[in-house]
Chains A and B, each alone.
Chain A
Amino acid sequence: MTELAWIDAALSAARPKAVGALLRYFRDLDQAEEAFQEACLRALKTWPVNGPPRDPAAWLILVGRNVALDDVRRRSKTQVLPPEEILSDLDDAEADLAERLDSAHYRDDVLRLLFICCHPDLPAVQQIALALRIVSGLTVGEIARAFLVGEAAMEQRITRAKSRVAAAAVPFETPGAVERSERLGSVAAMIYLLFNEGYSATGGSAHVRASLCEEAIRLARLLLGLFPGEPEIMGLTALLLFQHARARARLDPDGNIVLLEDQDRALWNRDMIAEGLALVDKALRHRRPGSYQVQAAIAALHARAARPQDTDWAEIDALYATLERLQPSPVVTLNRAVAVAKLRGAEAALAMIEPLADRLSGYFHFFGAKGAFLTQLGRTEEAREAFGRAIALAHTPAEAAHIRLHLDRLMKDSRSA
C-alpha cells in the first residue's frame, strides 16, 4: 500500500469519531465537516513527515478545532497563531485531549452523528444518503452512482436533508438511558436499510452495491464497538455478515440470480460466517431476544448447512414463528412459508400465504414464491399466472430473468408431459 492509501484509511477510520466530536463542539454540521476537511488536509501534509499520530481521531479533533478558532481570530484581526506552532504543540495536547475524550464520550458523539441521519421525516433513501455522506465520508458522486441518480440531484437531496436535520435540532446533552436506547434502535434500522439497499440490487453495478453492504457492516461494527453489550447490535452485525458472506455466490457470471439452494457454497466467505457465528453465540447468552438476533439465527442455520439438504428447516420454521411474534409482518410469514414448504409440502405453504395476497399484491417475492409452490403442486396454469405477475413487479433485469427461467422450465415440462 502506498503512503497515501495508509493515510486515507486512517482518516476514514477516524472520521465518525472526529466529526462526531467536532459536531458536539461546534453544534453545526457544516462547520464540523469543514473543520474535519481542513484537519485532513493538514494531516496529508504533516503525517508523511512526522509519521501518523498514535490517536488519529484525537489529532484530527484538536487540529480541526484549532483551525476553526484560527479562522475566528483571523476574522477578528487579532493575532494569528502560525500553524506550525499549533502542530508542534500537538504531542502533549494530544495526550491530554485523548485522556478527556474517553470512549464514553465518543460513544455518544458517534451515536448522535448517526442518529441525526435517522430523522423520521426523511425518506429512507435520504437517511442512507446522509449517513453515507456525513458518517462514512463518501463523496456525493459516489453516493449518486449507488442510487443511480445524477450528482446534482443527489447534492440537492443531501443539502435538503441536512437543513431538515439542522431544523430538527437534536439535543447535544448526553442522552439518558432510554433516549440512548431509542437512538440505538433508529440507527440500527438505518444501517439495516443501507445494507438492504446494497443487497437487494435495485440497480447499479455489483461493485457499487457491494460497497454499500460493506459500509453497512463497517457502521454496524462501529456501533457494536461502542455498545459491546447490546445483543441486538450483535444480531444485526451477524445478520449483515451472513448475508454478505454469500455475495459472490448470489449471482452467476452472467449476473443471473442464483437461489440459496443452488449456490456454490464454496464461494461463501467463511471468515464472515465465522465472525457472524461468534456474534450469535455471544448474543444468545444475554437471553434478550430481538428481531435482528432471530434473523441472524436463521441466517446462521443456512450458513451452518454444508449442503442444502442439511438445512435445519424445522428450527428455521420455529425461528420464523418467533419472528412473527416479535415483529409481525406479511413478509416474515411469506419467508416462513418457504420453510413450511420444505417441512410439510407446498400445499401447506400455499395455505399459509393465501391470506397475505391483499397485503403483498405489489410484492415481487410473493408471486415468485407462489409460482414456485404452485409449480411443485403441478398447477401449471396458475403458476404461469403468478410468475407473470412477478415479472411485472421485478425491479431488476436479474429478477425478471430469474422468473423467466421458471417460466421456461414450466413450458418445457408441460410440453414434455
Chain B
Amino acid sequence: MLYAVLCYHHEAEVMGWTKAQDEAVLAKRAKVQQKIAAAGKLGPVARLMPTTAATTVRSGREPVVIDGPFAETKEQLLGFYVVDCASLDEAIGFARELGHGETGALEIRPLRHFETGSRAT
C-alpha cells in the first residue's frame, strides 16, 4: 500500500528555527529517508513554502481566488512523503522514526491513486 505521510506543525515555530536547528532536523530525517529509499520504497518528497505563499482557488460556478491557505488551522501542512509500506504498522513505524525527537504531527493517509507525473525530477 502507498501511504502519504503528511507533516503538520505550527508554521511560525518551524519558521523560527535557526538554520542550525532546521538543518539538524533535515539531517536526522534524511537518515530515516535513506533507509526506506535504499529498500526501494520511497516515493516523492516535498517541503512546502510557507502558507503565506499559498493561494486558494475555491471551485464553484464562479471560481474564487483567495490569498492564503485553504484552512486557518493551528498546525499547517508543511510537507509530505510518499512511501510504499506493507502495512499500516510499517507506515506508523516510519512516521515514528521520522518524527523522533520532534514536536508537531505526522498524518498517515493511504493513497487511493498515484501518478509519478511527467516531470523529470
Contacts and interface: CB of A to CB of B under 8 A. Distances in A.
A220 to B, nearest CB: 9
Contacts of A293: none
Contacts of A282: 53, 55, 67
Interface residues of A, number: 29
Interface string B8-47: 0011110111000100110000000000000000000000
Given A1-B21, A225-B52, A274-B49, A9 B13 contact: yes
A28 B93 CA distance: 49
Contacts of A103: 72
B16 A218 contact: yes
B52 A13 contact: no
B117 interface: no
A279 B52 contact: yes
A352 interface: no
B101 A13 contact: no
A221 B50 contact: yes
Interface in A3-53: 5-6, 9-10, 12-14, 52
Contacts of A229: 66-68
A186 B41 CA distance: 52
Contacts of A224: 52
A221 B103 CA distance: 21
Nearest to B74: A55
Contact of B16 (A13, A54, A228): A13
A14 B15 CA distance: 12
Contacts of A12: 16
Contacts, number: 70
A206 interface: no
A228 B101 contact: no
B49 A1 contact: no
Contact of A228 (B17, B68, B102): B68
B120 interface: no
Interface in A276-300: 278-279, 282, 285
Contact of B13 (A10, A221, A237): A10
A275 interface: yes
A221 B68 contact: no
A56 B10 CA distance: 9
Contacts of A237: 52
Contacts of B16: 9, 12-13, 218
A77 B12 CA distance: 40
Nearest to A53: B74
Given A5-B21, A221-B15, A275 B68 contact: no
Nearest to A222: B12
Nearest to B50: A221
A278 B49 contact: yes
B15 to A, nearest CB: 6
Contact of A278 (B21, B24, B53, B101): B53
B49 A9 contact: no
A266 B15 CA distance: 23
A205 B25 CA distance: 27
Nearest to B47: A271
Interface in A213-252: 218, 221-222, 224-225, 228-229, 234, 237
A348 interface: no
Interface in A398-412: none
Interface in B37-82: 49-53, 55, 65-68, 72, 74-75
A1 B53 CA distance: 27
B51 A225 contact: yes
Contacts of A54: 74-75
Nearest to A10: B13
B54 to A, nearest CB: 8
B10 A10 contact: yes
Contact of B102 (A6, A13, A98): A6
Contact of A6 (B11, B49, B66, B103): B103
Contacts of B67: 228-229, 234, 282
17 contacts: A1-B21, A1-B24, A1-B102, A13-B12, A14-B12, A218-B12, A222-B12, A225-B52, A225-B68, A234-B52, A237-B52, A274-B49, A275-B53, A278-B53, A279-B53, A282-B53, A282-B67
Interface of A: 1, 5-6, 9-10, 12-14, 52, 54-56, 98, 103, 218, 221-222, 224-225, 228-229, 234, 237, 274-275, 278-279, 282, 285
Interface of B: 10-13, 15-17, 21, 24-25, 49-53, 55, 65-68, 72, 74-75, 101-103
